[in-house]
Structure 1
Amino acid sequence: MKALIVDDERLARNELKRLLENFPKVHIVGEAANADEAIQLIDELKPDLLFLDIQMPGKNGFELLQSLEGDVPEVIFTTAYDEYAIKAFEQNALDYLLKPVELSRLTEAIQRAEEEIHHHELEQQGRTDGTAKVLTENDQIFIKDGEKCWFVRLGKVRLFESMGNYVRLHFDDQKPLVLKSLNALEDRLDSKTYFRANRKHIINLNYIDKIEPWFSGGLLATLRSTAEKPEKIEISRRQAIRFKELLSL
């Protein structure tokens, strides 16, 4: 398991490296003192796991994650502040460790990371074997969330939203959760209809009502829905380039 440590405090990085010596399966491939260094190293080294501080000079840890595209490493936040915990888990973090990091809590986080990465490897193996059928908008899908069940045409789903280890499907006025990663789901969807807008959302192109310019070269898509308040999804800068290439004449 390749890990990258991102923290602006050298002493904090050294202490975490010392603790990680207790985990022979974790191979530290690099360390960064700020977000810009980290983004470059993530692109070069392709780590499986990110130990990420939140408050750093320049971009903070959340802004770093928002800058990443494609396959994003699993994230364990390490911080001296507890007020960011909810936001951290909204970013699909595996765990949230308070400094000074305790070995027992680090052990729990590493175990969770190993399970999640192993799960992704199994998903990838299934895709490599060609066992997963690509679904089109005309396919019927069965959805079960708790005691409720639905059997709907996939084309009715306007939005897929990552919620940690789950994905929320938006269709009609329903929003059930399914136990699946957004990356795994993306590989099952027809790219002519479904577009990865950012690391948390896949949108149905047929439901786009309006597109407008957004911050930093991105786009803002407004989706048609039965909700009183229209759903507005940001298309990241890099994905905005793909979006224009895909839909331009």
Structure 2
Amino acid sequence: MNTPLRCLLIDDEPLAQELLLDHVAQLHSLDIVGVASNALQAIELYQTLKPDLLLLDINLPRMNGYELLGSLPGKAPWVIVISGYQEFAFEGFENNVVDFLLKPVVFSRFVRAITKVQERVQALDAVGSAVGSVTAGNVPSNQLAIKDGKTMVNVACQDIILVEAMSDYVKITLPDRVLVSHQRVSALEKMLPAPLFVRVNRSFIINTTKIRQTDGQQIEMQSGQRVPVGTTYRSVVSSIIRTAL
């Protein structure tokens, strides 16, 4: 990632601010654009600075960090929650935060959290490029020759809604029919153009332009099919959520 993430630090403890500012100063991939000590100041700075990432304490005066997140206008930024209380962690992940750090924040743990953000930003950029290409009419011209039983069918990749693995077979859902082909899903995955197609669990590959909605646990496709999201694939799906679905 060449462009530093623009960070807004929100914490009412001077010592915690100092430690986090020191951590940020060690990383060229981060740029602190503002520091807020309470929620109202944070909202004002957020609206003015439009940061990419919030380093957010939970115990703030008058309004806690999660209430602050709910009051922010527009698309939510990336968020790393920082707190001295482990019990706030579960609510953090319910709010789709990238990571939860306990105070005092150890530098190595901070670096891991920032790396998670960078990975999600990169995944989102890749997905966004594919979605933007299709929206602009620059649809990939990739064609696949799929053997459906004894018949060879020429399929445009962008027409595929999803692929489901069934042992040594794959089921390919198209807008008007379903093909069943004798091949492994891993072989077909290599032929599908990334990042237009994303693996969301061991059995399913989806076309990211055919998503109707998702809550991060399950994806509903435009065809009405619902696909569960595997735990190890949730970071990619989280990135999809942050596109304009």
1:160 equivalent to 2:180? Answer: no
Partner of 2:42: 38
Residue identity over aligned pairs, in percent, reads: 34
Query: Superposition pairs for residues 6-25 of structure 1, below 5 Å?
Result: 6-25=10-29
- Please say if residues 7 and 51 of structure 2, whose CA atoms lie closer than 8 Å, have aligned partners that are also in contact: yes
How far apart, CA to CA, are the structure 1 residues paired with 2:118 and 2:224?
A: 37
Alpha-carbon RMSD: 3.2
The answer as to whether partners of 1:3 and 1:30 remain within 8 angstroms in 2 is: yes
Any residues of structure 2 matched to 1:101-140 within 5 Å, and which?
101-127=105-131, 130-133=132-135
Higher mean C-alpha displacement, 168-177 vs 114-123: 168-177
- Inter-partner Cα distance in structure 1 for 2:31 and 2:49: 12
Instruction: Check if 1:141 corresponds to 2:141.
Output: no
- Scaled by the length of structure 2, the TM-score of the pair is 0.61
Change (3 A) 1:148 1:49: same
Q: Please give the residue correspondences for 1:175-214 in structure 2 after superposition, counting only pairs within 5 Å.
A: 176-177=228-229, 179-180=236-237, 181-184=240-243, 186=245
Q: 1:52 aligns with which of 28, 53, 56?
A: 56
Q: Number of paired residues? A: 176
Please, what TM-score do these two structures have when normalized by structure 1?
0.60
The amino acid that maps onto 1:40 is E
CA offset digits 1:68-90 (Å, max 9, x no partner): 24321111111100011111111
Q: Which structure 1 segments of 5+ residues have no match?
A: 187-249
Name the CA shift for 1:76/1:172 in 2 (closer, same or farther; >3 Å): same
Structure of greater Rg: 2
TM alignment of 1:205-244, pairs within 5 A: none
Show CA shifts across 1:197-233 (max 9, x none).
xxxxxxxxxxxxxxxxxxxxxxxxxxxxxxxxxxxxx
CA apart distance, 1:39: 1.6
In the aligned structure 1, how far is the partner of 2:119 from the partner of 2:163? 25
User: In 2, are the aligned partners of 1:48 and 1:117 still within 8 Å (CA)?
Assistant: no
Q: Residue 143 of structure 2 aligns with which residue? A: none
The alpha carbon displacement at 1:66 in A equals 1.1
Question: Residues 68 and 148 of structure 1: is their aligned pair in 2 closer, same or farther, counting only changes over 3 Å?
Answer: same
Is the Cα–Cα contact under 8 Å of residues 85 and 96 in structure 1 kept in the other structure? yes
Deviation of 1:174 after TM superposition, in Å, equals 5.0
Aligned equivalents of 1:31, 1:101: Cα separation in 2: 17
Q: 1:3 aligns with which of 1, 7, 11?
A: 7
Q: Could you tell me which amino acid in structure 2 is paired with residue 100 of structure 1? A: P
- 2:130, 2:73 → 1: CA distance? 23
The DSSP-based 3-state class of the residue aligned with 1:101 is coil
Deviates more, 1:34-43 or 1:56-65: 34-43
Gaps of 5+ in 2: 137-158, 165-199
Deviation (angstroms), 1:18: 1.2
Question: Which 10-residue stretch deviates more, 78-87 or 110-119?
Answer: 110-119
